[in-house]
Structure 1
Amino acid sequence: MNMTLRALLGATALLTLAGLASAETTITVATVNNGDMVRMQGLMDDFYAKNPDIKVEWVTLEENVLRQNVTTDIATGGGQYDVMTIGTYEVPIWGKQGWLASLNDLPAEYDAADILPAIAGGLTVDGNLLAAPFYGESSMVMYRKDLMEAAGLTMPDAPTWTDIEAAAKAMTNRDAEINGICLRGKAGWGENMAFLTAMSNSFGARWFDENWVAQFDQPEWKATLDFYLNLMTNYGPAGASNNGFNENLTLFQQGKCGMWIDATVAASFVTGKDSTVADKVGFALAPDNGLGKRGNWLWAWSLAIPSSSQKQDAAKAFINWATNKDYLALVASKEGWANVPPGTRTSLYANPEYQKVSFAKMTLDSINSADPTKPTVKPVPYVGVQFVAIPEFAGMATSVGELFSAALAGQKTADEALAEAQALVVDEMASAGYTK
């Protein structure tokens, strides 16, 4: 081979390699540091095998930091992320701003029609699916079957709040350090106010009337807060005003709660290897008061693409992989069906293997009983079950949560907390221009 030909072939090879290198697209994915998302990062070999021309860089953050970072980035059009992990709260707000790319053009095999309608409804704005759910959840009653049996009681599949109070009273045993019920008391819009807002729906309460006027001075909110405080004071754990999801999970796993009403996603934890009562747990729908609404919420951690991303095709390829049916099967093959991300697809709940998981049916029934477009008994101008999908809600609800947590700690009466909540929200809504 002469030198000229060798040089030409060498140059051609270099050009080919350069072309391959330039064809590779790198996308940045911002996500939350929970177990399901961390597990996904360990399964990326499957993604790369199917998408050899895409590289993924991860930014994994604690939930509050993630929210702050992605909100700042998308509001300023920063373009730092190509895929963002966001919640059901953000989707309708950001969608109305035009900040999210439509996912209606995902490939046919993605089968968007398979997404559970209740979950898809919270992620759709003006007919556009704006985020793909990675896992979905509602809330439900988790209870100790052995303690219920010892008390001579049976938990209905669809209990009322009266049933819950009777069970909490019967299961409380202070000498054995068993609290009849554990509920969120820690202040925060995603902590105690997620629980109390969902609970209030079943009591006929609402955050606002049709004209955005605050409703904390109405009898339905007083009934909600009085019942909650009575339940927790008489049958709940000491220091409950400091307890959120994680603290109550630990108490339940240690056998110190007769009941816990919280996220359906907790089911795999209370029946898992870290739970001392794993074989004693039963499940029921969140309670109601016979008014047509249950006290359960609706949430999904979802993947979305900011409109500012310059790599939307590669981002959609990643979302297609991370949230499709094949991914669920992949996790099942590695970790077992009980550890598959729950609450997103109809086909998962039709799968005979998944139906064997003890909490599968109750999770699905709980999700299906929540309607973010009609969350309350009376008409409201907002979307959202345990939140109000307006930008001002997170700040207001955290402040109200501090008042209600103080009432649980005995630092305020229920009436004082409600009066202060009313004044605070009235002022905030006037300042934001919702009311005059």
Structure 2
Amino acid sequence: MSRARVRVALSGTVTALLAVALAGCAGWGGTTAGSGGANSIDVLMVNNPQMIDLQRLTEENFTRQTGIAVNFTVLPENDVRDKISQEFSSQAGQYDVASLSNFEIPIYATSKWIAPLDGYVAADTVFDQADILPSMAKSLTADDGRLYGQPFYGESSFLMYRKDVLDAQGITMPAKPTWQQVADIAARVDGVQPGMAGICLRGQPGWGQIFAPLTTVVNTFGGTWFDADWNARVDAPEFRAATQFYVDLVRAHGETGAPQAGFTECLNNLIQGNVAMWYDATSAAGSLEAAGSPVKGKMGYVAAPVLKTASSGWLYAWAWSIQQASEKKDNAWKFISWASSRQYEELVGAELGWSRVPAGKRASTYANPDYLKEASAFAAPTEQAISSADPRNPGVQPRPAIGIQFVDIPEFTDLGTQVSQYVSSAIAGRMSVDEALERGQRLAEDVAERYRSREEG
């Protein structure tokens, strides 16, 4: 079955559904779009720290070099996703460039809201597309085979653990552990230090919270949200086995308050010595190894645990795309090619320090001695995790849509969030895993039926 058939007639529902977003960050103001002249562009972007660094460096570097003024509108994640969805679906052309993730870009490309970048890449002799990690480029490529985004920074997932705690128990962590090995180690180190649990796993509801790690577990256990023919598989044996394993592990050896624990809570638990291990985003390592971190130098990093697949790490990127309605596409590309360049990474390293480089997208980053000096503990495992991620083939069976920790359809934000509430309730002991997934199956069947109807129509 052609994957191009997946995204049919979506424009009527994309706008509303993409407004459902991940948990947001603290607010940040921005400039007003459309305030510049012909030699300016308007950029709408999320207020993550790496983006704020970019905003501060642009005028003295990019604008001074090119003469192109950049007007930024910078918003928290929830707000920026909503605003980008409204702006790009209307094709008003108020913004030329926006920060999009690899979740939105294939959907926006199918709806013809963003412009293909292949022509610009081919003509640009400096950007060096071959240096972009192939998994990142693949995740920003639509079903038509064209590239619609350039990554600003990216991440995968891996297992982080306290080397000193395992060493004291005579435990050697495998370089490529299985989930059963991880569960066994979690049991052995649980409580070996006062107040220390064996492992932290997200339990907080949200398609981008608990289901980011849990969907990778489902994949490697042989499960999937939907099969290639759009049959819902949420209550299938493999999905059930993965979810039961995850719930049992976090209930038996996981962190206190697991049903409310997301990325931030697990990060704090590991830094504060409340857990011995954590499976989550590779981007967390920078905080664990930062100056002043109590666990700096004590951490080990290995591949995401597996069962039936060779790898299981997820893939996520904040990337740049150009609005199709923009009348300043050439200048927009000049900004993107600078912001995602090797030269920009070197600028950040020199001006702000190598720990603040927006990494995870270029092979050259992981050969740079200055970066490796700062990130030696986790650079190689991070690169390996990103490089081994395959967003078009993350499990043991064909899928109807791209995605590792998500299904790249607009409906997944609502579906994943609703099902996550049931699974989080199972972690809290308020319902069984079977009941949670039976409810989830009914919701997934509704989504599947819509896609089967569109294909049949």
TM exceeding 0.5: yes
**Cα-to-partner distance string for 1:14-69 (whole Å, 9 max, x where unaligned):** xxxxxxx99752322111111111111121211122122x2111111111111111
Q: Pick from 82, 87, 92: which aligns with 2:101? A: 87
Whole-Å separation in 1 of the counterparts to 2:292 and 2:416: 33
Whole-Å separation in 2 of the counterparts to 1:247 and 1:434: 41
Partner of 1:345: 362
Partner of 1:426: 445
- Aligned 1:165-176 pairs, distance under 5 A: 165-173=183-191, 176=194
Whole-Å separation in 2 of the counterparts to 1:274 and 1:197: 33
Whole-Å separation in 2 of the counterparts to 1:246 and 1:403: 21
Whole-Å separation in 1 of the counterparts to 2:353 and 2:399: 42
**Cα-to-partner distance string for 1:277-303 (whole Å, 9 max, x where unaligned):** 1121110000011x2243310011001
**Cα-to-partner distance string for 1:108-146 (whole Å, 9 max, x where unaligned):** 111111100010001112332211100011000111011
Matched, 1:229 2:243: no
> Counterpart of 1:279 in 2: which secondary structure?
coil
Whole-Å separation in 2 of the counterparts to 1:308 and 1:350: 38
Partner of 1:51: 66
Whole-Å separation in 1 of the counterparts to 2:270 and 2:175: 20
Partner of 1:380: 399
Matched, 1:38 2:52: yes
Shift of 1:334: 2.0
Q: Pick from 118, 131, 149: which aligns with 1:114? A: 131
Matched, 1:316 2:333: yes
Shift of 1:339: 2.5
Instruction: Decide whether the 8 Å contact of 1:184 with 1:192 is kept in 2.
Output: yes
Q: Give the aligned residue type for 2:449.
A: A
Matched, 1:131 2:149: yes
Instruction: Decide whether the 8 Å contact of 2:36 with 2:69 is kept in 1.
Output: no
Residue range with higher mean Cα deviation, 347-356 or 361-370:
347-356
Shift of 1:353: 3.1
Instruction: Decide whether the 8 Å contact of 1:211 with 1:435 is kept in 2.
Output: no
Whole-Å separation in 2 of the counterparts to 1:328 and 1:127: 28
C-alpha change, 1:274 and 1:306, in structure 2 (3 Å) is farther
C-alpha change, 1:22 and 1:179, in structure 2 (3 Å) is closer
Shift of 1:233: 0.5
Superposed CA RMSD:
1.8
Matched, 1:361 2:376: no
Whole-Å separation in 2 of the counterparts to 1:385 and 1:239: 27
Whole-Å separation in 2 of the counterparts to 1:413 and 1:35: 39
Instruction: Decide whether the 8 Å contact of 1:74 with 1:99 is kept in 2.
Output: yes
Matched, 1:292 2:309: yes
Partner of 2:287: 269
> Counterpart of 1:85 in 2: which secondary structure?
strand
Partner of 1:393: 412
Provide the identity percentage: 41
- Aligned 1:235-250 pairs, distance under 5 A: 235-250=253-268
Matched, 1:148 2:162: no
> Counterpart of 1:134 in 2: which secondary structure?
strand
Q: Give the aligned residue type for 1:381.
A: P
Matched, 1:199 2:213: no
Instruction: Decide whether the 8 Å contact of 1:201 with 1:294 is kept in 2.
Output: no
Q: Give the aligned residue type for 1:414.
A: V
| Runs of at least 5 residues in structure 2 that lack an aligned partner in the other structure | 1-34
Q: Give the aligned residue type for 2:137.
A: A
Whole-Å separation in 2 of the counterparts to 1:182 and 1:315: 42
Q: TM-score, normalised by structure 2?
A: 0.87
Instruction: Decide whether the 8 Å contact of 2:226 with 2:448 is kept in 1.
Output: no
C-alpha change, 1:408 and 1:22, in structure 2 (3 Å) is closer
Q: Give the aligned residue type for 1:228.
A: Y
Partner of 2:423: 404
C-alpha change, 1:28 and 1:227, in structure 2 (3 Å) is same
Whole-Å separation in 1 of the counterparts to 2:243 and 2:145: 37
> Counterpart of 1:206 in 2: which secondary structure?
coil
Matched, 1:75 2:89: yes
**Cα-to-partner distance string for 1:227-283 (whole Å, 9 max, x where unaligned):** 101110011112111111111111111121211111111110111135211121110
Whole-Å separation in 1 of the counterparts to 2:105 and 2:250: 33
Partner of 2:110: 96
Instruction: Decide whether the 8 Å contact of 1:293 with 1:376 is kept in 2.
Output: no
**Cα-to-partner distance string for 1:66-86 (whole Å, 9 max, x where unaligned):** 111101111121323211101
Whole-Å separation in 1 of the counterparts to 2:36 and 2:205: 49
Partner of 1:161: 179
Whole-Å separation in 2 of the counterparts to 1:282 and 1:335: 26
**Cα-to-partner distance string for 1:392-422 (whole Å, 9 max, x where unaligned):** 1111111111111111111110010010000
| Runs of at least 5 residues in structure 1 that lack an aligned partner in the other structure | 1-20
Shift of 1:382: 1.4
C-alpha change, 1:307 and 1:264, in structure 2 (3 Å) is same
Whole-Å separation in 1 of the counterparts to 2:36 and 2:181: 64
Q: Give the aligned residue type for 2:216.
A: A
Whole-Å separation in 2 of the counterparts to 1:219 and 1:274: 45
Q: Give the aligned residue type for 2:113.
A: W
Whole-Å separation in 2 of the counterparts to 1:353 and 1:174: 37
Whole-Å separation in 1 of the counterparts to 2:382 and 2:169: 26
> Counterpart of 2:245 in 1: which secondary structure?
helix
Q: Give the aligned residue type for 1:361.
A: A
Whole-Å separation in 1 of the counterparts to 2:350 and 2:401: 41
Shift of 1:321: 1.1
Whole-Å separation in 2 of the counterparts to 1:298 and 1:268: 17
Instruction: Decide whether the 8 Å contact of 1:212 with 1:435 is kept in 2.
Output: no
> Counterpart of 2:153 in 1: which secondary structure?
strand
Q: Give the aligned residue type for 2:63.
A: Y
Shift of 1:313: 1.4
**Cα-to-partner distance string for 1:287-332 (whole Å, 9 max, x where unaligned):** 011x224331001100111101121112111111110010011111
